[in-house]
Amino acid sequence: MATDFLVHEKIWFDKFKYDDAERKFYEQMNGPVAGASCQSSGPGTSSGPGGDHSELVVRIASLEVENQNLRSVVQDLQQAISRLEARLSTLEKSSPIHRATAPQTQHVSPMRQVELPTKKVATPAEDDEDNDIDLFGSEEEEDKEAARLREERLKQYAEKKAKKPSLVAKSSILLDVKPWDDETDMAKLEACVRSIQLDGLLWGGSKLVPVGYGIRKLQIQCVVEDDKVGTDLLEEEITKFEEHVQSVDIAAFNKI
């Protein structure tokens, strides 16, 4: 029973082998761990002192080379910064803003007596000549001329606009006029529809379309002016013929 239990139980019997392999791997990568020689036992479990010493020497040499490279980079950066500082100082000295402007001294001459110009007395003849000069007459004439030109141009524009024909919005409508039954006289129905005459209404072609059970509907085309004739007005006028018309539907509506 004990052996059967151990067979089914998951026990790591050879764990020490993997521990030794892991320790050797890390010793080869990072050098021997302190106190590893005291803990290990048996031949071949620890590496020799010569290999560890050579690995340390190689690592120290690589660190020195890296240190030298860093020092050279730092020196180059210091030189570049010093050159930039020198250039900045020369630019500041040469700029006109930082130049020291010496105060200019003005020579003050001694006071001397200034002779005032004598006022010339105007004669009556000169006063009459000055009164004859009209300083604002030309401006008033120019304003009148500009107003006249503006009025003429406005009048010409109004005449031109009145002569130009205005665009009339039109629509093409296709109507479906349905009779009461198959005994309705469709020719009389169409004559009644076409008898509707309105300002802005123009009737077009028509045809009879079968609906079913021997009943046919009148499909008629018309063109209307939107400002004068609407769909509601058309339906109202057509449905007045109650003896022949049952209903009116708009089959198509298109702007022209």
Burial degree of 173 (CB within 10 A; 0-12, 13-18, 19+): buried
Please tell me the distance from the alpha carbon of residue 179 to that of residue 186, in angstroms, as a whole number: 8
Listed range (18-22, 60-64, 217-221) with the worst mean pLDDT? 18-22
pLDDT of residue 56: 85
**The two structure tokens encoding residue 74:** 């730092």
| pLDDT for residue 49 is more than 60 | no
> If you average pLDDT over residues 182-205, what whole number do you get?
92
State the pTM of this model: 0.37
Residue 90 near residue 98 (C-beta atoms within 8 A): no
Instruction: State the pairing for strand pair 215-225/201-212.
Output: antiparallel
pLDDT of residue 111: 52
pLDDT of residue 202: 93
As a whole number of Å, the end-to-end CA separation of the chain is: 104
Q: What percent of the chain has pLDDT over 70?
A: 68
Report CA Rg, the chain.
58
> If you average pLDDT over residues 207-211, what whole number do you get?
92
| pLDDT for residue 32 is more than 70 | no
CA triple 111-113-117, angle to 5 deg: 140
> Sign of the CA dihedral 35, 36, 39, 45?
negative
